[in-house]
A and B are shown apart, each in its own frame.
Chain A
Amino acid sequence: SAVISQKPSRDICQRGTSLTIQCQVDSQVTMMFWYRQQPGQSLTLIATANQGSEATYESGFVIDKFPISRPNLTFSTLTVSNMSPEDSSIYLCSVDGQPGRNYGYTFGSGTRLTVV
């Protein structure tokens, strides 16, 4: 299965600032997924990023708040913009197993964000 390097692993940020999270995959993948895990909650999908096209956002998430880049088939970034304490969460990127669904999903190690 794919190996994902995600960074930073954690950060403490001031409200009103932005943080960009990076995910690098060791193989080419069509779709990359970004999830948020709020404290004590399960994972919620933010958006799906395909190379060469705009990301597809889930209900409740908007591009202005969570812009995503997908410049190639091995890399993606998620930016959390104009942060507030409510954005304090673990953010995770994910890819489906190669080749395809039969191998399940792989996740990055997560970014633990605290906004003060």
Chain B
Amino acid sequence: KQEVTQIPAALSVPEGENLVLNCSFTDSAIYNLQWFRQDPGKGLTSLLLIQSSQREQTSGRLNASLDKSSGRSTLYIAASQPGDSATYLCAVFPSSGYALNFGKGTSLLVTP
């Protein structure tokens, strides 16, 4: 069974810092990997989708990388802002099957 782990569980940084969130998964047979943002008590907003054949994806201040062979992905947030405060979830889509496997998330707080 695919296990997805996110480190750290929580992170607090001052505004303006660059930061890295980590995601690891146990089974490298994935179709793609997706990063989401979740605000408290709310649904999920998709941030980036990386196909298994890709190494990275970028959107604005966000950059996600994927090393499928080692079972790792990172989400890099540049010049963090208080509005970035949220929980960030990593989810992998297995090569066989139809449902995402989620990590528990990293709770990020960016202080002014």
Contact = CB atoms under 8 A, between A and B. Distances in A.
Interface of A: 1, 6, 10, 31, 33, 41-45, 48, 58, 90, 92, 94, 96-97, 101-110, 112
A72 to B, nearest CB: 20
A110 B102 contact: no
Nearest to B36: A107
Q: A-side binding surface: helix, strand, loop or mixed?
A: strand
B32 A101 contact: yes
B31 A101 contact: yes
Interface stretch (B11-19, B41-49, B66-74, B75-83): B41-49
Contact of A108 (B31, B36, B43, B98): B43
A104 B46 contact: yes
Given A33-B99, A58-B99, A92-B43, 10 more contacts: A31-B98, A45-B99, A90-B41, A90-B43, A92-B44, A96-B98, A101-B31, A102-B32, A105-B34, A108-B43
Q: 3 shortest A-B CB distances, which residue pairs?
A: A104-B49, A110-B43, A109-B43
Chain B interface size, under 10 / 10 to 19 / 20 to 34 / 35 or more: 20 to 34
B99 to A, nearest CB: 5
A102 B51 contact: yes
Q: B-side binding surface: helix, strand, loop or mixed?
A: strand
A112 B34 contact: no
A48 B98 CA distance: 9
B43 A48 contact: no
B108 interface: no
A105 B100 contact: yes
A103 B49 contact: yes
A5 B98 CA distance: 22
Interface string B3-14: 010000000000
B46 A42 contact: no
Contact of A110 (B31, B32, B41, B93): B41
Nearest to B51: A102
Contact of B34 (A42, A48, A104): A104
Contacts of A48: 98-99
Interface in B68-112: 89, 91, 93, 98-100, 102-105
